[in-house]
Amino acid sequence: MIKRTLLKNGTVITLDKTIGDFKQADVLIEGNKIVEIQPDLNVSECETIDAENMIVMPGFVDTHRHTWESLIRNIGADWSLDTYLKNIYFGNIGSRLRPFDGYVGNLIGALEALEAGVTTILDWSMIESPEHADEWIRGLKEAGIRAVFAYGLSGDHDYWNRESKLRHPEDSKRVKKQYFSSTDQLLTMGLAIRGPEFSHWEATVSDIQLARELDVICSMHLGFGTWGSVDRSIEKLHKADLLGPDLNFVHANTINDNEFGLIASSGASISVTPEVEMMMGHGYPATGLFLEQGGRPAIGVDVVTSTGGDLFAQMKFALQAERSRINEQLLKEEKMPEQLALSARDVLEFATIDGARALGLDHKTGTLTPGKEADIIMIDLTHLNMFPLNDPVGAVVQCANTHNVDSVFVAGKAIKRRGEMLNINLDRLRQWAMESRDHLLTGYQTAEGNETN
């Protein structure tokens, strides 16, 4: 018998424009699917969960996260982009990763995301060997998260060699066949490639062709720092007829308006990681520039070496950075802004349905829509920072934090209830994380010349 769950009397934000929102309604889940959203549903033989004083909404979608870096979280609170690269790639912390370290990092990183209401991530991975790939996938699977495993590049000193391409093309085919032969599962596959600014052009073409042979999302860092303003990579991809909805560009801070338009018209996506970009020196977030050319950005955390693993902070950074950009232009003209440039609902869409669309998962998740899978979170309105409720969307984007996430469901399965994560052994996870952290960092000389211990 299919299990049925009724979320009763919640304030429902569906983010489905055809359905709208509800001041109070019920959400019925059967198995892994949402089947009905209406006030006062009369349903028998189901588990009823009281959602009064809760906001019921889609889980967040993080379109760019280096998940394994949970093992070295907060080490880079004062790192610039250059320092980060020297430590993770040039300094070879990444190359020290053993397969089991990757398993632990992905497991606790994915659980961190889930606890914060992030039900879907793209894991931009660094794979040294087939054994590493297997363990990275195992960590995501055991966490119970919906994820795109983006098979990526090793973290060794050769990372920035422009002549090299995806190191294990044959193993990526093995991984697709072994783990991702069906799209009807929580984990799907992508490729994390160097792209045209960090590899030879022929390598980029080959990697994109491989992604299309495998029928997977292809993600690459592009257009940030001092590279993107001179390379005009998007124009090159367009002229080569390589742009398409299966390409995901991370950052894109320094590309020009024409390139934003090319991305938008091709259906490709941009993942903005606003906090890390503003902190590390990638460039100003591309949120509004992409919107002006007809695109809809998605949002990512990027690296928990330098920030937290939730999307509440990233939504606020994206929203206020873009508002500030427009406000500064008006102030220079000696005008005061009359209407703010970007809405809270826009940013909430970036973190849900627009993210799902960027990952090719909008048919499954991103909105509360009957027929979609039940990736749902519940935000507790009884906390001091959440009542009295006046604007549900504004409350989620501007006021809420991870402390307010009461419940998390992925494909109808409860992962967190009443503020507590279910079925995890925190003591064991903590021990594993400490052991892996010590292996990666003990005696390691950071780029600042400090020895970790």
pLDDT tens-digit readout, 328-356: 999 999 999 888 889 999 999 999 999 99
Q: From residue 442, how far is each of 69, 82, 88, 325, 436 by CA, in Å?
A: 16, 22, 15, 42, 10
Give the pLDDT confidence score for residue 341 in this predicted structure: 86
How many domains would you assign to the chain? 2
Give the pLDDT confidence score for residue 170 in this predicted structure: 83
Q: From residue 345, how far is each of 13, 17, 51, 53, 263 by CA, in Å?
A: 10, 12, 22, 21, 23
Give the pLDDT confidence score for residue 449 in this predicted structure: 53
340 & 376 share domain? no
205 & 342 share domain? yes
User: Domain of 34?
Assistant: 4-58+372-421
181 & 283 share domain? yes
CATH number for the domain spanning 408: value is: 2.30.40.10
pLDDT digits (tens, 9 = 90+) for 352-400: 999 999 999 999 999 999 999 999 999 999 999 999 999 999 999 999 9
Instruction: Give the separation between CA 287 and CA 322, rounded to whole angstroms.
Output: 7
Report which of 96, 146, 140, 92 is spatially closest to residue 119, judged by C-alpha positions: 146
Task: Please give the torsion angle defined by the CA atoms of residues 305, 306, 310 and 316, in that order, rounded to the nearest 10 degrees.
Answer: -170
175 & 302 share domain? yes
402 & 326 share domain? no
130 & 11 share domain? no
Give the pLDDT confidence score for residue 168 in this predicted structure: 61
Give the pLDDT confidence score for residue 447 in this predicted structure: 55
The residue from 334, 358, 382 where one domain ends is 358
Domain-located, residue 313: yes
pLDDT digits (tens, 9 = 90+) for 260-302: 999 999 999 999 999 999 999 999 999 999 999 999 999 999 9
Residue 49: strand, helix, or coil: strand
385 & 306 share domain? no
Q: pTM of the prediction?
A: 0.95
381 & 243 share domain? no
CATH number for the domain spanning 328: value is: 3.20.20.140
pLDDT digits (tens, 9 = 90+) for 213-259: 999 999 999 999 876 556 789 999 999 999 999 999 999 999 999 99
pLDDT digits (tens, 9 = 90+) for 402-440: 999 999 999 999 999 999 999 999 999 999 999 999 999
48 & 176 share domain? no
Structural tokens at position 347: 């940013």
Q: Which residue has the higher pLDDT, 448 or 79?
A: 79
Q: What average pLDDT does this structure show over 87-93?
A: 78
